[in-house]
Amino acid sequence: MAEPGTRRDEAGRPPSPEAAHGWEPLTKGDFEALAQFRFGIRSYLRFSEETVRRHGVTPQQYQLMLALKGFPGRDWAVVRELADRLQLRHHSVVELINRAQREGLVERCADPEDRRAVRVRLTMQGEATLGRLSGLHRDQLRRMNAVLALPRWHPTD
């Protein structure tokens, strides 16, 4: 016997997980579109990882440099902001910055507005390295445009 308040369909069955949570059921075409999009993302990430390593940079260092150069409204950031952008823990970002600084890619400088904070910015070497690598990434994205297009969802019947 069903508990009071439990929803059931016309045949007395509990609703599917999709219906219970308000999800639309996916069609075969939807699964194919998701799989194709996931393949495109993974192909791009593999290209990125292999490309930056061939140029003597780790994927994490490339992401750090890109986060700095692409930070909205300025070319520097503090560790807390970088941790958010990179989706890493504070101490992991500090170690990443330490390694990138030893490689000459980034530098730390005092924040004139908050003496407790330290700004991280690209060095000239970091700017040059990021420029070369990002150009390669942009060109690859242009080549992959169709594969990385957002999936087109098929209407449910």
Classify residue 6 by its DSSP letter: -
In a domain? residue 11: no
């950031």: which residue's tokens? 77
What's 104's domain CATH number? 1.10.10.10
Q: Which letter, b or e, does each residue of 52-63 get, where b requires 16 or more Cβ atoms within 10 Å of its Cβ?
A: beeeebeebbbb
Residue 14 lies in a domain: no
Is the pLDDT reported for residue 144 higher than 80?
yes
Which structural domain, as residue segments, surrounds residue 63? Answer: 27-143
Q: In what order do the strands lie in the sheet with 106-110?
A: 76-78, 118-122, 106-110
How far is Cα 51 from Cα 38, in angstroms, rounded to an integer?
A: 20
**Does residue 5 belong to any structural domain of this protein?**
no
Within a domain: residue 72? yes
Residue 157 falls within a domain, yes or no? no
Share of the chain above pLDDT 70, in %: 85
Q: Does the pLDDT at position 116 exceed 90?
A: no
Question: Lowest-confidence range among 2-11, 18-27, 77-86?
Answer: 2-11
84, part of any domain? yes
On whether residue 45 sits in a domain, the answer given is yes
Average pLDDT over residues 144-157: 73
**Would you place residue 157 in the very low, low, confident or very high pLDDT band (cuts 50, 70, 90)?**
very low
CA dihedral 88, 80, 66, 93 (to 10 degrees): -50
Q: How many domains does the chain have?
A: 1
* Domain-embedded: residue 68: yes
Going 30 to 35 to 38 to 40, the CA torsion angle's sign is negative
pTM value? 0.79
